[in-house]
Structure 1
């Protein structure tokens, strides 16, 4: 018998001992980070106060109680009973039964009506049919990504369950080493922006945090073949943890599956969906530009299949000696500050990912309250001594002025923006400004993935700010559905018509002008002195966006070395509107550290240009008298 089986036998005996004699325990199983208990008395266990809570405290594991097969009413009968039980105004769209888990997934427009007061309707469903109801919200905006991900995971249920069981056994394997240390290796994004990747290792476990590309620098990828990284093969990793979906953090995760990785990815549910959207677009852009992408769409699907979504605040075992807790980072939808608790209280390290410390229209600010933190790995994108962004209210005023001036000149305003995060923030600003009459009502064209990314935001309203969630769900005032927002779905022909038409605002990808539809807009509007290009986000060194921002008035579009290269003279106005970035500025980063509880002993400043990380590191050392570092790529730190 394997050690995992022995562990399960021991746990089953503990469960039987801790539960009342009238409750039968059929079996227990590891599924990912959860311990699943199968019993014909699942409803009894759920209704009796304290059983699940006491088991979780005793076993120190997340508990999921499921009914056995014989406790389930046949699906056809159950469907009729559930339909009769749920109020008609809940807007139920679909019922999906998973016999192996005993769960019925109820997709509804109004999940609250399905749940009932204090969960009364769910309890009634479980009592009458035996199935465990799980409620899924119907997105207020139709999202092909959310639909495709849900359908794909439904098709792959059997294999996904095998993956979860294998992961669960790996997490719960016995520890074997007598050594006791914690090391961190930098594989990218040190003294540079992009290709984020780190290895967190102990004698027992190895965790990869992020695996991204470098904007504007094709071929510069994380140092995955380094001895401290994957020299022993991808399956030397216990897990991959993804802080958020932007490609400089997520683009190269599928390449791990191309080379044989078969383990879990931990992130939030919206990050999973956005990751799939952005990675598939990454492949599409590479193909259109004649580049050979580093992986195929199948590896994107493999990554989705191996993703285990976590909710903010849930402490989760991801290795025999490592627990992970994700907290809101305030950067984009689902972005997380990742806190790792190592050993039995031996060491704690937090990775900020990308953070925004203050609240925005879209999201609450980053969380910086933890039980313990000895080391903080802190992004430094705007950590330079002069990187102070304009207050958002002032930024919005400046943007309104830019738009009004362009409108008066009968021109267009071209705004390159990240599809995820900045675009939605700008949509909220523009919708309110037009509604209040601060700028003229005019078409706002969404080009690239922006509309689809926006639809994903509405599928996860619980991750948005309270007032925005309230408007979307309960006040029937979804600002993202304002009639002035129009999708560009007619290709270059439609773009030409827009360029020839009345004044308009164009939100388009990519945010750093490294490819995508913004290139077509530069061809169409670049020579128009009445139009304006407004930068609202960070432009990394080496990107075309940075070149234009610095005043370059002639650019090359297409393959710069090939026969299709095209020179374009820029006569349109170029403006930079600070304050809309999803990153904290210098003051925000210092405030994050100053108010952090507890304040860490050591900080590694990463994800910023060399001068920026050096300046932030020095400032934090002088201001807070703590150990700080400005690491280079391929450095290893012994943390404990």
Structure 2
């Protein structure tokens, strides 16, 4: 007990308050539930309300009870059986296989007796769920277990498997964690909300190290925590008083998994943070993949990693997934809603509703407004949004990307020309997003004989990231989602795609072989296998180095794209002269161009009162800020790092 607690008796007061809150909650639920249904216990687990019952079958027979409770209590509600009230796992397994259609292709059943859940892994989860949840309700009616349906990815993903297995192993500890979070979220705020502040900790007048801290009189939330590509050591300003101590953060919100937004998030756990991270489910998996690779690259390059793999696991364990469009309580005075940002798998624009209608703030994250082959376009329809922090990566007045059809045609042309010269095309690509976009373009071009059929080699994490995409088809564009769900049509499983899994000997063999296409990380040529490909293919004039993504200031990719042919590769002593053809094609970026950013704002209704232009260099943020003010009469700012803004 601390000195303060000993003097004031604060521990006892808090305990009494928690007991009172729990008693009141139990009474409210009991009043809403029909008398023939048992309510053994009620508790919050994270943002959700969980009702434990000895009559799970009777709850399942009432089709309307969950909706009624959620409406009355204004919370998401889950029903869980009290241990011992279910059928045996053997009996339940028999019933589940009898109730679920055979073509759902159930792969595995995992029973969690401590929570009364049965995890049903199936290739076609929709058939397990049934129309409006009819099949899962039937399972609970028959056996008393609470089904959790999980999709079996059509492409095996070690990341997805490892994350799911790890969370299953940590189920009991995670349940305690969620209970603690739930008590904090659903308590009463200590003070009235009469202000909200945001401090910029990074990504202002620069691209990278995205990070902000949002304050109310009661709450402190961190949004993103990334690194800066090509600038080792430039990290978010987490040490400033507005962010410190990190142990007092109430929550972290992650917009997407790219390292310039997520790389340093595990650092929080190294320094004592033990609270929740809110993000989408695919972002959780992708951030784990990218963060572990971040550590691996640092180690290979002789740099001291900023954290250990244990902190990556902690971050995963503390993640609370949220779905697009779901209003989620994350603090007593803040509700979060995440919307599709159209940027990469699971990317989100974060909408914060502060206080009881006091103020609404939107953090755009990285957005792509028009639909792509992979994703539907970004959502910009918010009931209220007085303030927006908006990305400006392509915010300069001349930052207009080429038409997508023209860009794809140019890529096909470059590939045909290189093929005719018996050369190899190597494309530096981000493992997440652009690689999958290009895979779709190349698969279609070969299928329709627009380019010669040849091997397409995936080096680095691209194949694993692609497998994660297939695990979450509901986050992909409508037509693509349907193709992935039908194995014979899954474009990512085309025979041309081959994983580079033989290390440097395999790379040397490929470099001396027939014409091919290579997609390799890293996308900005800052490390990873792309360095080997430059060394192997760069000296030969019949090969092509093709850039299709953003190259940040300070990166080797930017220097090469700008015309530098004499380069020094990371970790190699010798200089390298590039004689290969160097091409750049725009139109494949996951970011909206200048026109897309303006259109995004123009079509918001209502439009924000204030827009702060961030995540772009000095020119981009300045020019976009000026344009939005002049065209829409919106108050705009071009923040610097370490500025604090108070709203309203």
2:279 aligned partner: 267
Pair 1:314 & 2:326 matched: yes
8 Å CA contact 1:177–1:203 kept in 2: the answer is yes
Match of 1:167 among 145, 160, 181: 181
1:490 to 502, 516, 541: 502
1:194-209 alignment, distance < 5 Å? 194-209=208-223
1:287 is the counterpart of 2:295: no
What are the Cα deviations for residues 460-490 of structure 1, in whole angstroms up to 9, with x where unaligned? 0000111111111136310001101110011
Whole-angstrom CA distance in 2 between matches of 1:476 and 1:603 = 46
> Take 2:538 and 2:409, find their aligned partners in 1: how far apart are those partners?
25
For the 8 Å contact 1:554–1:570, the answer to whether it is kept is yes
- Report the Cα offset of residue 53 of structure 1: 2.4
Instruction: Report the counterpart of residue 634 of structure 1 in structure 2.
Output: 642
> 113-122 vs 281-290, which deviates more?
113-122
Q: 1:103 aligns with which of 112, 117, 129?
A: 117
Contact 1:46 1:52 in 2 (8 A): no
State how far apart, in whole Å, the 2-side matches of 1:240 and 1:537 are.
28
Separation in 2 of the partners of 1:484 and 1:65? 47
Give 1:144 shift. 0.3
Give the Cα separation in 2 of the matches to 1:565 and 1:148.
Answer: 38
The answer (yes or no) to whether the contact 2:429–2:523 under 8 Å persists in 1 is yes
Residues 360-411 of structure 1: CA distance to partner in whole angstroms, max 9, x if unpaired?
A: 0000000000111000110000010000000111100010111111111111
Question: 1:3 touches 1:173 (CA, 8 Å); kept in 2?
Answer: no
1:378 matched residue in structure 2: 390
Q: CA deviation at 1:65?
A: 1.5
Identify the match of residue 130 of structure 2 among 116, 124, 129: 116
Q: In structure 2, what is the Cα distance between the partners aligned to 1:114 and 1:60?
A: 28
**Equivalent residues of 1:350, 1:375 under 8 A apart:** yes
CA distance in 2, matches of 1:53, 1:88: 29
Aligned length: 634
The equivalent of 1:500 in structure 2 is 512
In the alignment, which of 87, 106, 128 is matched to residue 142 of structure 2? 128
Other-structure match for 2:419:
407
In 1, Cα distance between equivalents of 2:570 and 2:192: 57
Q: Is the Cα contact below 8 Å between 2:118 and 2:147 reproduced in 1?
A: yes
Alpha-carbon separation, structure 2, partners of 1:475 and 1:467: 14
Cα deviation for residue 100 of structure 1 reads 2.1
Extract unaligned runs of 5+ from structure 2. Answer: 1-14
Distance 1:31 1:76 in 2: 29
1:597 alignment partner in structure 2: 605
Q: Report SS of the residue matched to 2:226.
A: coil
Deviation at 1:611, TM superposition (A): 0.7
Q: Could you say which residue in structure 2 is the equivalent of 1:395?
A: 407
Alignment check: 8 A CA contact 1:4 1:172 kept = no
> After superposition, what is the alpha-carbon deviation per residue over 1:10-49, rounded to whole angstroms, capped at 9, x for unaligned?
0111111112111121110110011111122333334425
Aligned to 1:613: 621
Q: Secondary structure at the match of 1:257?
A: helix
Alignment pair present for 1:464 and 2:464: no
Shift of 1:428: 0.1
State the shift of 1:170 in Å. 1.3
Moved more, 144-153 or 111-120: 111-120
Partner of residue 491, structure 2: 479
Query: Could you list the per-position Cα deviations for residues 416-463 of structure 1 after superposition, in whole angstroms to 9, with x for gaps in the alignment?
Result: 000000000000000000000110001100000000000000000000
The 5 Å alignment of 1:222-621 reads 222-230=236-244, 233-474=245-486, 476-559=488-571, 564-621=572-629
In 1, distance between residues paired with 2:405 and 2:508?
34
| Contact 1:328-1:336 at 8 Å conserved across structures | yes
Contact 2:60-2:141 at 8 Å conserved across structures: no
- Aligned mates of 1:467, 1:57 — CA distance in 2: 33
Query: 1 CA distance for matches of 2:278 and 2:437?
Result: 26
Structure-2 change in CA distance of 1:179 and 1:133 (3 Å): closer
Over residues 75-125 of structure 1, what are the superposed CA-to-partner deviations in whole Å (9 max), with x where a residue is unaligned? 222222222332332211110111222111100112233223443322221
Q: Secondary structure of the equivalent of 1:2?
A: helix
Matches of 2:580 and 2:272, distance apart in 1: 48
Q: Secondary structure at the match of 2:383?
A: coil
Q: Quote how far apart the aligned CAs of 1:195 are.
A: 0.1
Consecutive unaligned residues in structure 1, runs of 5 or more: none
* Alpha-carbon distance in structure 2 between the residues aligned to 1:220 and 1:107: 42
Distance 2:193 2:468 in 1: 45
Q: CA deviation at 1:57?
A: 2.6
Within 2, Cα distance between the matches of 1:160 and 1:511? 35
Q: 2:153 aligns with which of 139, 144, 158?
A: 139
The alignment's C-alpha RMSD in Å is 1.1
CA–CA distance in structure 1, aligned partners of residues 418 and 187 of structure 2:
63
Q: Deviations over 1:274-307 (max 9, x none)?
A: 0000000000000110100000000000000000
- Quickly say closer, same or farther: Cα 1:482–1:181, change in 2 above 3 A: same
Q: Which moved more, 1:190-199 or 1:36-45?
A: 36-45
Q: 8 Å contact 2:61–2:141 — kept in the other structure?
A: no
After superposition, give the CA deviation of every residue in 1:518-574 in whole Å (9 maximum; x if it has no partner): 000010011111111111010000000000000001000124xxxx42210011111
The 3 A distance-change label for structure 1 pair 63 and 391 is same
Distance 1:477 1:52 in 2: 38
Distance 1:46 1:323 in 2: 29
